[in-house]
């Protein structure tokens, strides 16, 4: 079993695919779940507090917008933990979306810099592309099993 | 309109900056609630073509789609708050264009704000209060004449001002430096009463504004306790006799600056700046001290000088003053230094605040700093329009409070 980071980090479809192939998906839902179920926090809707953008300073300097750093406080540790990653570019917002183009740029860079097994795909626009998309994700996940 | 003011929140990054609860709390404290206009996925997909602005961040597309929902009247909204992360250029473009679009097409009161994780409910309070006042109390704000015998107290961060008005005329004024809020307010109040020749018990209504408005309002049992954006707008157009049509009000204060677009005496778009002391009246106080002149003499000195002869390397109150000191030690004339200080403050307000509002003539400069002649002169040079300083401009907030509080006499 390999820890696979999915990006968009809140994509349920990608997380589900990773799980179906026997790996552990690293997604932002887990982080949020931990935040909203932890006692003593009251900062709806995500229970992200002003401390989170400060934690994000580990990944981006203070001149980077607070919204980027707040997101990085969630995603940064997942990137560090990841042993492989599946990244989908320009997805439909319903597929998964982190909302911020600057965060996307930084996350994509940091994932590449880790030099872990990485599959980058464009979001499919036709049914044929969608089939091909799923096949390629499946092959990538299987290859992780085989240690390729 | 519902009892609770419904403020549409069009934002990007507030939840990830950890400040959503601060926005909600600021709204709650002024009897308002934040609402997110409903949109569907199709609205978001179409919005770039419909609005005409292409952006990379999906949350900005959502923000634009919500803005269009407000304009289309899909949501029952009284006012609009537009907020994005500080230092995000893409968001700044959307924020600015969306604010203009909504204000021009709906006439709803709109404010915009760029936040960081340090933004608190207290920072947002005055803005939210002004927004709800514009939405809820338009009847009060349309008042053009002061009636009866009323007093207005402006408890500012640097000075406390008071005026007593009778039947649309100022009959007494008081002005003291702010030390302790209540003591200063009482002293200014006594000065104004004495000058007017009236007793406190004769007053028919009292209004308070400024930083110490709540404390002073409680002490004087004020009929009106109101933030300074709406009060100063009324005071400015009243004193300048420009209550009809458009006007722009600029007030450079001791702690923060206001730039307000006014239409028929009612504020529309406004910005409150308060991050940098280099853009405040405090900078000019320090300059006067360095030049060895009273702050009241700085204005006359500055209009004789030429700001271009002084190299200002920084807007910062510390390093900016250092630039002025260096110039003086290099033989610069005090009048040029005074002019450069006025230019520096005006330029910051011009660059950081006046870009956020529609500058429409007449431009009115008010507050105590407007009496430093070099400041309106520098602003004229930057804006290329005439800048008016109405009579009694230093009492702008107090006059606005006295004027608006007279509305409560009629209600009784």
Q: Which residues of B64-78 are buried (b: 16+ CB within 10 A; e: fewer)?
A: bbbbbbbbeeeeebb
Nearest to B118 among A50, A52, A68 (CB): A50
Q: Are residues B22 and B111 in the same domain?
A: yes
The predicted structure's pLDDT at residue B348: 85
CATH 3.40.50 describes domain A3-145: yes
Check residue B5 and give its pLDDT. 92
Q: What is the pLDDT of residue B234?
A: 93
The confidence score (pLDDT) of residue B373 equals 92
> What was the pLDDT predicted at B220?
95
Domain assignment of residue B141, yes or no: no
Residue B58, strand partner residues: none
Residue position matching structure tokens 């930083």:
B211
CB contact under 8 A, B21 and A54: no
Q: Which of A50, A92, A94 sits opposite B117 (nearest CB)?
A: A50
A47: closest chain B residue by CA: B18
The answer as to whether B357 is a domain residue is yes
In this structure, what CATH number is given to the domain that contains residue B75? 3.40.50
Q: Is A65 in the B-facing interface, judged by CB distances under 8 Å?
A: yes
Q: What three-state secondary structure class fits B208? A: strand
Q: Which two tokens stand for residue A135?
A: 């096949």
A97 touches chain B (CB under 8 A): yes
In a domain, B218, yes or no: yes
Domain ranges of chain A: 3-145
Contacts B61 to A, Cβ<8 Å: 93
- From the CB of residue B100, how many other CB atoms can be counted at a distance below 10 Å? 16
* CB within 8 Å: A100 and B59: yes
ipTM greater than 0.90 = yes
* pLDDT for res B2: 53
How is residue B304 annotated by DSSP?
Answer: T
B316 and B270 within one domain: yes
**B98 assigned to some structural domain:** yes
Q: Looking at the complex, does the CB of residue A43 fall below 8 Å from at least one CB of chain B?
A: yes
* A36: closest CA of chain B, how far (Å): 13
**pLDDT score, position A145:** 73
Nearest chain B Cα distance for residue A97, angstroms: 7
Is residue B360 a part of any domain in this protein? Answer: yes
Max distance between CA atoms of chain B, in angstroms, equals: 67
Distance from A106 to chain B by nearest Cα, in Å? 13
Strand partners, B33: B6
Three-state helix/strand/coil letters over B58-123: HHHHHHHHHHHHHHCCCCCCCEEEEEEECCCHHHHHHHHHHHHHHHHHHCCCEEEEEECCCCCHHH
Q: N- to C-terminal Cα distance for chain A?
A: 13
Closest Cα in chain A, distance from residue B356 (Å): 19
B window 44-83, beta carbon within 8 A of A: 44, 55-59, 61-62
B259 and B378 co-located in one domain: yes
Mark whether B175 and B68 lie in a shared domain: no
SS3 B126: helix
Using a CB–CB cutoff of 8 Å, tell me whether B21 touches chain A: yes
Asked if residue B399 lies in contact with residue B239, where contact means CB atoms within 8 angstroms, the answer is yes
B343 and B308 belong to one structural domain: yes
Per-residue pLDDT of chain A (148 residues), as tens digits, is 999 999 999 999 999 999 999 999 999 988 888 878 877 666 777 888 999 999 999 999 999 999 999 999 999 999 999 999 999 999 988 899 999 999 999 999 999 999 999 999 999 999 999 999 999 999 999 999 765 4
Name the residue of chain B whose CA is nearest to A75's CA. Answer: B16
Closest to B285 (Cα-Cα) out of B178, B372, B211: B372
* Element of type H or E holding B375: helix B374-383
Both B204 and B94 in one domain: the answer is no
- A67: which chain B residues are within 8 Å (Cβ-Cβ)? 12-14, 16-17, 85, 88
Q: Which residues of chain B does A52 touch, with a Cβ-Cβ cutoff of 8 Å?
A: 16, 18, 117
Q: Given phi > 0 = left and psi -120 to 50 = alpha, else beta, which region is B203?
A: beta
pLDDT value for B101: 92
The verdict on B334 and B247 lying in the same domain is yes
Cross-chain residue pair A99–B58, CB shorter than 8 Å: yes
d(C-alpha B389, C-alpha B242), whole Å: 12
Q: Helix, strand, coil % (nearest 5) of chain A? A: 50, 15, 35
DSSP-derived 3-state class of residue B230 = helix
Q: How many domains does chain B have?
A: 3
How distant is the Cα of B57 from the closest Cα of chain A, in angstroms? Answer: 4
Note whether B313 and B336 are same-domain residues.
Answer: yes
Contact A53 B16 (CB under 8 A): yes
Selecting from A50, A71, A97 the residue whose C-beta is nearest the C-beta of B58 gives A97
Q: Does B17 touch chain A (CB under 8 A)?
A: yes
Written as one string, the DSSP assignment of A66-134 is HHHHHHHHHHHHHHHH-SEEEEEES--TTT---S-HHHHHHHHHHHHHHT--EEEEEPP-SHHHHHHHH
Residues in A closer than 8 angstroms to B59, CB to CB, are 99-100
Residues of A in contact with B16 (CB under 8 A): 46, 48, 52-53, 66-68, 70-71, 99-100
Residues near B60 by Cβ (< 8 Å), separated by ≥ 6? B12, B84, B90, B91, B94
Supply the Cα-derived Rg of chain B in whole angstroms: 22
User: What is the extent of the structural domain holding B292?
Assistant: 242-389
Continuous segment of H or E residues that includes residue B196: helix B181-196
Last residue of a domain, one of B108, B136, B164: B136
Question: Which segments of chain B have a pLDDT < 50?
Answer: 1
How many CA atoms are closer than 13 Å to the CA of B251, on its beta-carbon side? 32
Best residue in B16, B25, B34, B60 to probe A by mutation, most A CBs within 10 Å?
B16
B350 and B221 share a domain?
Answer: no
Inter-chain CB proximity A65 and B85 less than 8 Å: yes
Q: Residue B174: give its domain's CATH number.
A: 3.30.420.40
Same domain, B255 and B223: no
Phi and psi at residue B237, to the nearest 5°:
-70, -25
Q: What is the pLDDT of residue B1?
A: 47
**Interface subset of B 85-104, CB within 8 angstroms of A:** 85-88, 90-91
Residue B35 near residue B9, CB atoms below 8 Å: yes
Nearby residues of B79 by Cβ (< 8 Å), 6 or more positions away: B5, B6, B7, B8, B32, B108, B109, B110, B131, B132, B134, B135
| Same domain membership, residue B375 and residue B253 | yes
Asked if residue B267 belongs to a domain, the reply is yes
- Contact (CB<8Å) B12/A100: yes
| Residue B380 pLDDT | 94
């Amino acid at each position: 079993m390999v820890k696979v980071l999915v990006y968009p980090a809140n994509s349920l479809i990608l997380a589900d695919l990773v799980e179906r192939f026997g790996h552990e998906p690293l997604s932002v839902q887990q982080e949020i779940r931990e935040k909203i179920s932890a006692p003593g926090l009251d900062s709806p809707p995500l229970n992200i507090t002003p401390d989170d953008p400060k934690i994000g300073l580990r990944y981006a300097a203070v001149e980077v917008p607070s919204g980027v750093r707040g997101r990085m406080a969630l995603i940064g540790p997942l990137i560090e933990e990841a042993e492989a990653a599946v990244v989908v570019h320009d997805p439909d917002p319903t597929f998964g979306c982190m909302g911020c183009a600057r965060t996307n740029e930084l996350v994509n860079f940091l994932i590449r810099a880790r030099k872990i097994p990485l599959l980058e795909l464009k979001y499919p626009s036709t049914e044929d592309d969608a089939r091909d998309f799923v096949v390629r994700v499946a092959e990538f996940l299987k290859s992780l099993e085989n240690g390729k | 309109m519902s009892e609770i003011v419904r403020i549409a929140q069009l934002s990007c990054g507030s939840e990830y900056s950890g400040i959503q609860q601060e926005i909600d709390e600021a709204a709650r404290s002024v009897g308002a609630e934040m609402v997110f206009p409903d949109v569907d996925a199709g609205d978001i997909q179409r919005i770039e073509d419909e609005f005409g602005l292409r952006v990379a961040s999906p949350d900005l597309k959502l923000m634009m789609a919500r803005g269009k929902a407000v304009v289309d009247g899909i949501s029952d909204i009284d006012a609009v708050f537009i907020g994005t992360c500080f230092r995000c250029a893409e968001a700044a473009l959307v924020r600015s264009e969306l604010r203009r679009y909504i204000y021009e097409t709906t006439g709803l009161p709109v404010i915009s704000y760029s936040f960081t994780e340090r933004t608190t409910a207290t920072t947002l309070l005055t803005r939210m209060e002004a927004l709800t006042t514009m939405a809820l109390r338009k009847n009060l704000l349309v008042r053009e004449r002061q009636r009866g015998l009323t007093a207005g107290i402006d408890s500012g961060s640097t000075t406390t001002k008071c005026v007593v008005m009778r039947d649309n005329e100022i009959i007494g004024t008081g002005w003291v430096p702010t030390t302790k809020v209540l003591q200063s307010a009482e002293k200014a109040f006594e000065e104004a009463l004495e000058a007017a020749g009236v007793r406190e018990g004769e007053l028919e209504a009292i209004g308070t504004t400024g930083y110490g408005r709540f404390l002073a309002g409680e002490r004087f049992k004020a009929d009106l306790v109101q933030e300074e954006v709406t009060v100063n707008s009324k005071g400015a157009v009243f004193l300048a006799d420009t209550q009809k049509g458009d006007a722009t009000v600029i007030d450079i204060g001791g702690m923060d600056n206001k730039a307000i677009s006014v239409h028929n005496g009612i504020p529309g778009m406004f910005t409150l700046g308060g991050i940098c002391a280099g853009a405040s009246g405090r900078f000019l106080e320090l300059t006067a001290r360095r030049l060895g002149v009273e702050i009241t003499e700085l204005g006359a000195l500055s209009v004789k000088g030429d700001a271009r002869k002084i190299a200002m390397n920084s807007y910062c109150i510390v390093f900016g003053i250092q630039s002025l000191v260096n110039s003086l030690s290099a033989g610069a004339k005090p009048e040029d230094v005074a002019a450069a200080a006025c230019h520096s403050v005006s330029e910051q307000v011009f660059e950081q605040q006046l870009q956020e509002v529609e500058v429409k003539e007449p431009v009115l400069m008010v507050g105590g700093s407007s009496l430093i002649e070099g400041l309106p002169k520098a602003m004229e040079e930057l804006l290329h329009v005439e800048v008016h300083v109405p009579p009694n401009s230093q009492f702008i907030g107090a006059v606005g409070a006295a004027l608006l509080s007279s509305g409560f006499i009629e209600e009784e």
